[in-house]
Amino acid sequence: MVRVGIVGATGYGGAELIRLLAGHPHVEIANLYSSSSEGESLEKSFPHAAGLGLPTLSPIDADSMSGVNDLIFLATPAGVSSGLSPKLVEKGVKVIDLSGDFRLENGAVYQKWYKHEPAPSQWVEAAVYGLTEWNQEQVAGACLIANPGCYPTATLLALLPLVKTGWVQPNSWIVDAKSGVSGAGRGVSLGVHYSESNESIHAYKVASHQHTPEIEQELHKQSGEETLVQFTPHLVPMTRGILVTAYGQLTTDVTQAQIQELYEATYADKPFVRVRPAGSHPHTKEVYGSNYCDIAIHVDQRTKRVILLSVIDNMMKGAAGQAVQNMNVMFDLPEKTGLPLVPVYP
């Protein structure tokens, strides 16, 4: 059994990890950690978790977290993992960090977009970017995983097969994304207040969202080309789900059928990426509660653009689901273990 600890267990990412790990056949939820509720039962924060026999919340203290955990998930805000994770890894505990602290390879870029001190550079270098489908071998040998952001997961799974072909102008990508409100976490703020977000939709962080450099960095790593992406997120009045609509200018007369074939071949042996039939319109509801990313390809021959549609559940493939997928790969377990396959519908 893998003894697992979760820091930030009282948040949404923590709750989703508990939902998945409580049913995982090779995991023992050994410890739950909190910076604000030590000594309390998790049921006080999450009554839905009653009856699972979970440990009481413990204080966060790196010295006492080794020897009792094989792996620790950090479901904490940016700026926490950069200090804590190196101490844990030095003591022999593997770490999967759901925050952005180890995703950006350049510390100055992290500081600019996250407004926090970057993690020590040797630890950023040691971290593996956990987009499982594209980095499986590195994930298998990693001690520290930078779990991808929710928007980058939906975007990169959609764009990566194409950026390697040269069929799209690298700087032409426009990524328009919509997220459910749980993407903002459990903390209350005006923007996610019910009466502000219900029956309404708005763009936010235009030309300034912290996931922009993460998307560009990973596109560059796979294509070798400097790529600028115009990324605009929107908040929509639903609890879970992300829809990405990405537009790229084609450089050649490639057909929809050729692109479809490329995607089907790329993801043929990837259990969590489903390439929909050509011309489909995936709904977020069709991946709700699951670890799937569903992708559909359209080509507009009139404008010579490819239009990619990609849906995920932000809490699952966008956070906890992908984190558990990475854990499975790190511990040489079948990739799908403990990840319920069928989306909740309706």
Ligand X SMILES: CC(=O)N[C@@H](CCC(=O)OP(=O)(O)O)C(=O)O
Interacting residues toward ligand NDP by CB under 6 A: 8, 10-14, 34-37, 60, 75-78, 80, 98-99, 149-150, 182-183, 185-187, 314-315, 318-319
CB 57 within 8 A of CB 32: yes
The single residue among 8, 14, 86, 100 that binds ligand X, judged by CB under 6 A, is 100
- Angle between helix axes 321-330 and 12-21 (nearest 10 degrees) is 50
Q: Choosing among ligand X, ligand NDP, none, which partner's interface includes residue 8 (Cβ < 5 to 8 Å by kind)?
A: ligand NDP
User: What x/- string results for residues 66 through 85 when contact with ligand X is judged by CB under 6 A?
Assistant: ------------x-------
Q: Which residue is nearest to ligand NDP (CB)?
A: 11
Q: Choosing among ligand X, ligand NDP, none, which partner's interface includes residue 10 (Cβ < 5 to 8 Å by kind)?
A: ligand NDP
Q: Choosing among ligand X, ligand NDP, none, which partner's interface includes residue 321 (Cβ < 5 to 8 Å by kind)?
A: none
Hey, what are 16's tokens? 């989703």
Q: Which stretch binds ligand X (CB under 6 A): 16-24, 130-138, 178-186, 330-338?
A: 178-186
* Amino acid letter, residue 53: G
In angstroms, the CA 129 to CA 222 distance is: 12
**Number of shown-chain residues binding ligand X (CB under 6 A):** 11
Give min distance, CB of 100 to ligand X, in A: 4
Q: How many CA atoms lie within 13 A of 162 on its CB side?
A: 34
Give min distance, CB of 130 to ligand NDP, in A: 11
In angstroms, the CA 69 to CA 173 distance is: 42
Pairing, β 242-249 against β 305-312: antiparallel
Partners of 342 in beta bridges? none
In angstroms, the CA 322 to CA 313 distance is: 10
Give min distance, CB of 78 to ligand X, in A: 5
179 binds ligand X (CB under 6 A): yes
CB 23 within 8 A of CB 338: yes
Q: Which stretch binds ligand X (CB under 6 A): 60-68, 176-184, 299-307, 337-345?
A: 176-184
| Options 71, 95, 150, 157, the catalytic residue | 150
99 binds ligand X (CB under 6 A): yes
Pairing, β 174-179 against β 242-249: antiparallel
233 binds ligand X (CB under 6 A): yes
The single residue among 5, 130, 183, 213 that binds ligand X, judged by CB under 6 A, is 183
User: What x/- string results for residues 194 through 213 when contact with ligand X is judged by CB under 6 A?
Assistant: ----------------x---
In the chain, the largest separation of any two C-alpha atoms, in whole Å, equals 63
Q: Return the closest-CA partner of residue 91 out of 119, 50, 62, 61.
A: 62
Give min distance, CB of 38 to ligand X, in A: 24
Hey, what are 227's tokens? 């790529």
The single residue among 8, 118, 130, 149 that binds ligand X, judged by CB under 6 A, is 149
Q: Is 332 left (phi over 0), alpha (psi -120 to 50) or beta?
A: left
Q: Choosing among ligand X, ligand NDP, none, which partner's interface includes residue 208 (Cβ < 5 to 8 Å by kind)?
A: none
DSSP 24: -
* Amino acid letter, residue 170: P
Residue 104 or residue 250: which is nearer to ligand X going by CB? 104
Hey, what are 192's tokens? 């996610």
In angstroms, the CA 42 to CA 31 distance is: 11
Q: Is 293 a catalytic residue?
A: no
60 binds ligand X (CB under 6 A): no
Catalytic sites, residue numbers: 150
Residues near ligand X, by CB under 6 A: 78, 99-100, 149-150, 179, 183-184, 210, 233, 235
